[in-house]
Amino acid sequence: MRCHVIESIAQAGSGHPGGSLSSADIVALLYGHVLEIRPDDTHWSNRDRFVLAKGHAAPLLYAALAMRDFFEPSELSSLRKLGSRLQGHPDCKSTPGVEASTGSLGQGLSIGVGMALAGQMDDGEWGVYVLLGDGELQEGQVWEAAMAAAHYKLANLVAIIDYNGLQIDGPIREVLSPEPLDDKWRAFGWYVQEVDGHDFCQLDQAIRNAQSASLPAVIIAHTIKGKGVDFMEGECDWHGKAPSMEQCHDALQQIRGQKGAL
């Protein structure tokens, strides 16, 4: 998935590699192990729902969907091209497997609350998973949604925060700190866990715990922006910048060399 992200962004000449790479392990676990979905029946009523609140990480979502056979991986090279189904932010009207059109930060959790509430009212067996960016938590609508989720006791809702500590303008603690983050979510009535967002065992156990909780659950996943590419790691400059073809080649070599360790 990381290779697909780098290649598609480099070919497009624009995109958001940093946050796509930081959340790759989270999304890989969800699409490879957790989500009950049917690529051949995208409107299956009992499917799990995934909302990419941080919609600029669309290249990662597209990579996951391609690897789960929603469309051919060859289509990933059309990212951000005129007429492509794979635009810079997800479009649920045109891209199979995309549950919500996102990109306006702060709205994704509200969409997830609506989906979870519908599931609760319909006695559905499916879960809703929302991936948020840490800088996105600066949006007030996130906290309105958090309050609503606790009020309606949406135990079928799991929010995962890609906490890489950086946003487009710099470290989130300097731009507008969300800390103390764990205490905030608990105060809003959520079941809270903190994990290493690059450790599959920790992530898997946290999701299992969240699924059995009687409250809406949030997983604060500590990650590294640009994970897997040394010149991107921990650099906010790579929030929304495409690598050159030379940098792309270097990045792919690094990712493939680390594949067994990531």
Per-residue CA distances from 104 to 1, 39, 67, 111, 236 (Å): 24, 26, 26, 12, 20
Cβ atoms of 129 and 34 within 8 Å: the answer is yes
CATH class of the domain whose range is 2-258: alpha beta
What tokens appear for 229 in the block?
Answer: 């590419």
Per-residue CA distances from 17 to 55, 80, 161, 176, 232 (Å): 12, 14, 17, 22, 8
Helix (H, G, I), strand (E, B) or coil at 107: coil
pTM over 0.95: yes
User: Parallel, antiparallel, or unpaired: how do β-strands 166-167 and 49-52 relate?
Assistant: unpaired
Q: How many C-beta neighbours within 10 Å does residue 85 have?
A: 16
- Exposure of 197 in the CB half-sphere (CA atoms within 13 A): 28
Show pLDDT as tens, one digit a residue, over the chain (262 residues): 999 999 999 999 999 999 999 999 999 999 999 999 999 999 999 999 999 999 999 999 999 999 999 999 999 999 999 999 999 999 999 999 999 999 999 999 999 999 999 999 999 999 999 999 999 999 999 999 999 999 999 999 999 999 999 999 999 999 999 999 999 999 999 999 999 999 999 999 999 999 999 999 999 999 999 999 999 999 999 999 999 999 999 999 999 997 644 4
